[in-house]
Amino acid sequence: MHVKIWQRYLIREISSFFFLFLGCFYSIYALIDYSLHMQDFMQDTKITFSHMFLYYLFEFIKRADLLIPLGVLITTIKVLFALKTRGELVALRASGLSLKVILRPFFYLAIALALFNYMSNEWILPSSLTFVDQFQEQHWKSSSKDSHLYMMSLSDQSKLIYQAKDPQKQLLTDVFWIRSADEIWRMKSLCYDLKQPIGFFVDQLKRNSKGHFEKVESFEKYLFTLFKGLLENYKPPLSLENQKISTLFKDLVKKRVSPYEYPIALSYFLLKITMPLLSLLAVLAIAPFCISHRRSFPIFLTYALALFGFIAFFTLLDAALILSENETISAFYAILMPFCICFSLFSYRYFKRVQ
């Protein structure tokens, strides 16, 4: 297909500024992130330059659902205002081109980036999230000081709950082994070496005849021979956030997730199929404001309102995800409703403006 001169010019302007903004913005983010964790990077001699490069590459993939729509939004504002300031938009209109035709390159970019995000969610993002989580767990000492709890479901249906993990020492701290509904083991730390799993400062709790748990025995050091087979067969499950779109769809259709995990899996599935559309929504939302005919162009106000709206929409999606995960609101309403409302309003304004 023959590409005209004005189309090549617009495509060059759009693509060059988009990649420039994306590169500069992410470089600043990576620099700030590196400064926050510089001590961990310098103290851990196992971290090489290739490890750091892969970490920030996968971190970019992780943040792409935010960075790419933001880049599209800023690029659309900048290029359209530049066309108006230099009088090129008037020249293109005077040559007989409609606004719908002039704005096509912006939508071409948005569609291409939306397809990239869909492919990333299916093939690249799951492994990227897993790599980032493992990297932070192994190399960031500050990550072990948080107040989160982690759980391992063992092959005998028992559960191991712990607060922190040290992969180098193979040590879990503040551990509870819920062996059954009537028996719980509590320990200060657990060395999960497969050859000799040992618990330190261990208490065994059992339910008495009155239904209350009471301490039966205490050990300063206890050899958990039962853990040998359980830990050998254990494979950490992939979190629902790290799953592929196709895997989440199959799990939901075939009901391979528990009733507790079903609303979480549905929320992430709906979020993964709607988030790439933000690039299209960004062009639909901001283009009519940038091509309106006025004596003065409120450039600063446009940038400020666009960024405020972008941040507000992402905050709304985060709140909707939390509400849908906890079944406060149905995931279909919480995740899909903001997209449907925004697409309806901005599409109406866009088609009304370009006609």
The DSSP code sequence of 64-112 is: HHHHHHHHHHHHHHHHHHHHHHTTHHHHHHHTT--HHHHTHHHHHHHHH
Residue 124: pLDDT above 50? yes
Q: pLDDT above 70 covers what percent of the chain?
A: 93
More confident residue, 196 or 6: 6
Any bridge partners for residue 177, and if so which? 160, 185
Task: Check whether residue 165 and residue 259 sit in a common domain.
Answer: no
What are φ and ψ of residue 196, in 5° steps? -150, 80
Q: What is the mean pLDDT of residues 176-184?
A: 91
Does the residue 160 lie in any domain? Answer: yes
Same domain, 171 and 222: yes
Instruction: Kindly state whether residues 167 and 113 are assigned to the same domain.
Output: no
Same domain, 128 and 166: no
316, 343: one domain: yes
* pLDDT for residue 154: 75
- Domain housing 170: 155-232
Q: Mention every residue, 6+ apart, whose C-beta is less than 8 A from residue 335.
A: 267, 270, 271, 274, 317, 320, 321, 324
Which residues does 222 contact at the CB level (< 8 Å), separation at least 6? 187, 198, 199, 200, 202
* CA–CA separation, 54 and 62 (whole Å): 12
Of the ranges 42-56, 78-92, 188-202, 221-235, the best mean pLDDT one? 78-92
The answer to whether residue 237 sits within a structural domain is no
Last residue of a domain, one of 210, 232, 254: 232
Q: Highest mean pLDDT range out of 125-134, 256-265, 312-321?
A: 312-321
How confident is the model over 211-217, as a mean pLDDT?
Answer: 92
Q: What is the pLDDT of residue 235?
A: 54
Task: Kindly tell me if the per-residue pLDDT of 234 is higher than 70.
Answer: no
pLDDT tens-digit map of 300-313: 999 999 999 999 99
338 lies in some domain? yes
- For residue 117, being part of any structural domain is answered with yes
Give the model's pLDDT for residue 148: 67
Instruction: Report how many domains make up the chain.
Output: 2
Examine the pLDDT at 113 and tell me if it is beyond 70. yes
- Residues 213 and 255 grouped into a single domain: no
By the 8 A CB rule, do 153 and 159 touch? yes
Mean pLDDT of 267-295: 93
Say how many residues make up the chain.
Answer: 355
Q: Nearest-CA neighbor of 302 among 39, 78, 32, 100? A: 78
Chain centroid offset of residue 315 CA: 13
Decide if pLDDT at 145 tops 50. no
Task: Report d(CA 73, CA 307) in Å as an integer.
Answer: 9
pTM across the whole model: 0.83
Whether residue 53 is found in the same domain as residue 123: yes
pLDDT for 78 beyond 60: yes
**Pairwise pLDDT comparison (57 vs 42), residue with the higher score:** 57
Residues 25 and 127 both lie in one domain:
yes
Q: Is residue 161 located within the same domain as residue 84?
A: no
319 has a pLDDT exceeding 70: yes
CA distances to 108, 150, 184, 230, 349 from 235, rounded to whole Å, are 43, 14, 22, 10, 51
What is the reported pLDDT for 47? 86
Q: What is the chain's mean pLDDT, rounded?
A: 89
CA nearest neighbour of 271 among 315, 328, 334: 334
Beta bridge partners of 223: 198
Residue 148 lies in a domain: no
Residues 134 and 270 in one domain: yes
Contacts of 266 (CB under 8 A, 6+ apart): 252, 324, 331
Is position 181 within any domain? yes
255 found inside a domain? yes
Question: Where among 232, 265, 298 does a domain terminate?
Answer: 232
| Pair (43, 136) in one structural domain | yes
Query: In sequence order, what E strands does 154-274 have?
Result: 159-162, 164-166, 171-180, 183-191, 198-207, 213-223
266 pLDDT band, cuts 50/70/90, is very high
Statement: residue 292 has pLDDT above 70: yes
For residues 57-62, average pLDDT: 95
Looking at the structure, tell me whether residues 324 and 254 fall in a common domain. Answer: yes
Average pLDDT estimate for 222-244: 72
pLDDT score recorded for residue 230: 63
In a domain, 318, yes or no: yes
Q: What is the DSSP letter of 241?
A: G
| 253: pLDDT strictly greater than 50 | yes
Per-residue model confidence (pLDDT) at position 67: 96
Express each pLDDT in 334-346 by its tens digit. Answer: 999 999 999 999 9
CA separation for the pair 251, 246 (Å, rounded): 9
Residue 3: predicted pLDDT: 84
Inter-axis angle of helices 5-36 and 49-85, nearest 10: 140
- Looking at the chain, list the stretches that DSSP marks H as alpha helix, in order from N- to C-terminal side: 5-36, 38-43, 49-85, 88-94, 99-102, 104-119, 125-139, 227-232, 245-253, 262-274, 278-290, 299-325, 331, 337-354
